[in-house]
Amino acid sequence: VLQIVTWTGIYGLSFVATAVNSLIAYGAIHRSKAWLGAGALVIAILWFLPILGETPSGDTLDVRLVQTNIPLDQPWKKPASDDLLNELGALSTREATKTRLVVWPETPAPFYLNEDKDFRSRMQQIAKKLGAYFLVGYIDAIGEGPTNSAALLNPQGQVVSRYDKMHLVPFGEYVPFKRLLFFAESLTRQVGDFMPGTDYTLSPLDQHRIATAICYESIFPDLVRQFVKRGSELIVVITNDGWFGESSAPFQHLRMGVVRSVENRRYMVRVANTGISAIIDPYGRIVGRTPISVRMVLDGTVRYRSDRTFYTEYGDVFAYANALAAAAIAVAAVYDRRRFRGRERKHVRRTH
Q: Does an H or E element contain 66, and which?
A: strand 60-67
pLDDT of the residue at 349 = 62
**Hey, what amino acid is at 202?**
L
pLDDT in tens, 282-299: 999 999 999 999 999 999
pLDDT in tens, 84-138: 899 999 999 988 678 999 999 998 778 888 888 999 999 999 999 999 999 999 9
Rounded Cα gap, residues 20 and 56, in angstroms: 32
Q: Is 24 exposed, middle or buried (0-12, 13-18, 19+ CB in 10 A)?
A: middle
pLDDT of the residue at 316 = 92
- What's the Cα-to-Cα distance from 336 to each of 328, 339, 341, rounded to whole Å? 12, 5, 9
Q: Does an H or E element contain 287, and which?
A: strand 286-289
Burial 134-153 (b: 16+ CB within 10 A, else e): bbbbbbbeeeeebbbbbbbb
Listed in sequence order, the residues at least 6 apart from 238 whose beta carbon sits closer than 8 Å to its beta carbon are 103, 104, 105, 106, 135, 137, 150, 212, 213, 214, 215, 271, 272
pLDDT greater than 50 at residue 11 = yes
Phi, psi of 4 (to 5 degrees): -70, -15
- Mean pLDDT for the stretch of residues 264-270: 96
- Tell me the three state secondary structure of residue 175: coil
Write the DSSP string, 219-241. G-HHHHHHHHHTT-SSEEEEE--
Report how far Cα 243 is from the mean position of its chain's Cα atoms. Answer: 17
pLDDT of the residue at 188 = 47
- Mean pLDDT for the stretch of residues 216-225: 94
pLDDT of the residue at 185 = 54
Is 106 considered catalytic here? yes
Annotated catalytic residue within 78, 95, 106, 129: 106
pLDDT in tens, 174-183: 777 666 765 5
Q: How confident is the model at residue 35 (pLDDT cuts 50, 70, 90)?
A: confident
Q: How confident is the model at residue 303 (pLDDT cuts 50, 70, 90)?
A: very high
Which of 8, 61, 52, 57 has its CA nearest to residue 307?
A: 57
Is 165 considered catalytic here? yes
More confident residue, 343 or 47: 47
pLDDT in tens, 175-216: 776 667 655 555 544 456 788 899 999 999 999 999 999 998
1: DSSP letter: -
Annotated catalytic residue within 33, 78, 95, 215: 215
Phi, psi of 249 (to 5 degrees): -60, -45
More confident residue, 45 or 262: 262
- Give me the chain's average pLDDT, please: 87
pLDDT in tens, 304-349: 999 999 999 999 999 999 999 999 999 988 887 777 666 666 665 6
**Hey, what amino acid is at 128?**
K
- Mean pLDDT for the stretch of residues 14-40: 86
pLDDT greater than 60 at residue 266 = yes
- Tell me the three state secondary structure of residue 249: helix
pLDDT of the residue at 337 = 78
pLDDT of the residue at 186 = 52
- Tell me the three state secondary structure of residue 266: coil
Tell me if 109 sits within 8 A of 70, measured CB to CB: yes
More confident residue, 58 or 263: 263
Tell me if 224 sits within 8 A of 260, measured CB to CB: yes
Q: Does an H or E element contain 335, and which?
A: helix 317-351
Rounded Cα gap, residues 277 and 273, in angstroms: 8
pLDDT greater than 80 at residue 53 = no
More confident residue, 74 or 91: 91
Annotated catalytic residue within 33, 77, 117, 165: 165
Is 144 considered catalytic here? no
